[in-house]
Amino acid sequence: MSHALSALMAHTAQAVAPDTDGQLLRRFVRTGDEAAFAELVRRLGPLVLGVCRRIAPDAHTAEDAFQAAFLVLARRAAVVRPAEAVRGWLYGVAVRCAQEARTVSARRRAREVPVPNVPEQPAEPNERADADVLHALDEEMTLLPEHLRAAVVLCEIEGLSRKEAAGRLRTSEGTLSSRLAKARKLLAHRLRQRGITLSSAGLSAALGATAQARVPTDLTARALTAALFPALRPAGAITLSTRVLKTMLVQKLKTVVPLVALALGAFACAALAATQEPPGSQPRIVPATRPDSPAVKVAPKPLLKGPNKLLYWTDGKLVLSNPDGKNTKEFALKERFLPSVQLSPDGKTIAYRHPPQRTAKLSDLLTKSEPLKLHLHVRALNDTGSGTDLGVECDSFVWSPDGTEIACSSVDDEPGRQPQATSLVVRVESKEKTELKLPPGHVITSWAPDGRFVTMRLTRTDPSDAKARLYLVNRDGSKHKALAPDTNATMGRMSPDGTRVLCVLLKSAKETTAEKKKRQEAGAELPPPERALAILDIASGKVTKVANVPPNGEVQEHGLVWSPDGKRIAYTWRQKHEGGRQEATNKETEWRLIVCDADGTNVTTVASQKTQGELLTLFSLDWR
């Protein structure tokens, strides 16, 4: 061990021990304080090593995973929010590192020539009767939402009082207790699905057992070396951390696909658990059948004529094709990992999101500690250059009907409070930006020919309940009307003539109060809502479901478009599997891009892809 590292470890306990985990993490993020990071390794090491030893097949592999976990923390420390939730966040990272280490080890052993079996140092007294239970518990802990996992780690594993844990996570004791109760129910339910039944006391004992692991001094030193001294990082830790960071980035990108479909769709999909909103939170609704109220209107301009081509993203490339799937042309993308693209109305320019530095490589993004930021860019469809950064960070965007402007929306969502949304319009040529004063929680999903916006309103009554509705809103922010206010219609796309909206209806299974109580006591989640593709007539308010949607699957909110003449529609469909998330993850899943008449007849499957689990493979759909 080097003298500098020894001094750092000796200095750590006395210098920074009084600080909280979050204070240490923030200090490291702001100033690169090595002593603060060393104290985090000392405090969190037993938790991380316990996870790694339970999952990894041997001591050496577990130690590689341990070092990789802290290397990931050093690289991505700034994304941990709130900072006091670092233990829960790192718990999930440790599980991923150990799982990846186990996979790499298995592949290595499969390539090696068999030798006589020589006993190896065990990873831990891991042959206990409950080893499988703890392994399963680790995996299910990673599937909990971060705010639930943070509560469990602090209270059930680290043994903090609820008052202290609530203070660290900046929430109330009541909210923390609710999170703990929900997390315990979810864990118990998911463990039962895996054939493991634990009483309440048994679950507490299992969670408490996950904290037991003594970290050798030399392993702490190696973890600090790997995290703080890039030139001395061992190859094994680099490989594991890079693989895990790539997985985390892919998961992050699933929340920022076109039209914020997954990030915002989560609000709509969870919506149906809540049936009432707090008094005063419901905005004024003007029924769709009521005459338009006075509003600022823009005279429609002649529609730009495009090439009548479909554009979609698949397998790292953009594909341009006829509506029947013929005459395809592929465009290779440098930005393979950021497939968020829309065509301009004339079909000549693409808008897409990408980090501000156009030269950024995936490997560079993996090593940055700052949160991933995506700026809006434009470039000619056939161009292979860098494009133009419009200087707007956003989650979703839509072109204006005349192709001169782009409307952008950003969402700031934190569990336990109402989601915040901001929107603006940027001129493509001048980059001039104009802030929009839309009603609270509204995000833009489409731009009508007369200048109005179709918006989706997001609200949250608690961290698990939400509602979403579609509105037609004037550009100056004055509300015009609610579209089909009695339905759960989401992600509306306006027809080219401005008379209809293509959307997805969400419908959940109804349950009585007694059924809801029984489900919650069992720790079960409300089943995902059924999705139905529909067309909403703005003048009459009539909602008509689109026929002939393939069974045993679901329409994806992020893939809905009209043909340029408004007579046909296109949508993406994903196969749905029976069983829980674990089963779906291990099954082959089919995706389809489907074109049909607006009533659902004359169906054509333009493209079809199969992938493992729920990985996105067909999206960024547009038709110009």
Question: In this model, does residue 475 exceed pLDDT 60?
Answer: yes
Q: What is the pTM of this model?
A: 0.60
The 10s digit of each residue's pLDDT in 56-89 is 878 888 999 999 999 999 988 888 888 888 999 9
Give pLDDT, residue 431. 95
Give pLDDT, residue 259. 38
The 10s digit of each residue's pLDDT in 239-251 is 888 888 877 765 5
The 10s digit of each residue's pLDDT in 102-117 is 888 877 776 654 544 4
The 10s digit of each residue's pLDDT in 477-518 is 877 788 877 778 888 999 999 999 999 988 777 777 887 777
Tokens 């006391």 appear where? Answer: 201
Question: In this model, does residue 551 exceed pLDDT 50?
Answer: yes
Question: In this model, does residue 126 exceed pLDDT 80?
Answer: no
Backbone dihedral region of 327: left (phi > 0), alpha (psi from -120 to 50 degrees) or beta?
A: left
One-letter amino acid of 15: A
- What fold characterizes domain 258-275+301-623? Neuraminidase (2.120.10)
Residue with the bigger pLDDT between 253 and 440: it is: 440
Mean pLDDT of 85-98: 91
Mean pLDDT of 32-45: 89
Classify residue 14 as exposed, middle or buried by CB count within 10 Å of its CB (0-12, 13-18, 19+).
Answer: exposed
Give 104-110 contacts, CB < 8 A, sequence gap 24+. 104/61, 104/239, 104/240, 105/56, 105/57, 105/58, 105/61, 106/57
Tokens 């693989």 appear where? Answer: 243
Residue with the bigger pLDDT between 354 and 334: it is: 354
Range in 366-370, 410-414, 589-593 the model is least confident about: 366-370
User: 380, 376, 419, 420: which is closest to 398 by C-alpha?
Assistant: 376
Mean of the per-residue pLDDT values for the chain? 77
Share of the chain above pLDDT 90, in %: 29
38 neighbors 6 (Cβ within 8 angstroms): no
159 by DSSP, 3-state: which?
Answer: coil
Question: In this model, does residue 568 exceed pLDDT 70?
Answer: yes
The 10s digit of each residue's pLDDT in 438-461 is 988 899 999 999 999 999 887 654
**pLDDT band of 90, cuts 50, 70, 90:** very high
Range in 275-279, 390-394, 524-528 the model is least confident about: 275-279
Cα 544 from Cα 537, distance rounded (Å)? 8
Question: What values do phi and psi take at 156, rounded to 5?
Answer: -85, -35
The H-assigned helical ranges of 491-595 are 513-521, 581-585
User: 393, 402, 455: which is closest to 427 by C-alpha?
Assistant: 402
Give pLDDT, residue 550. 95
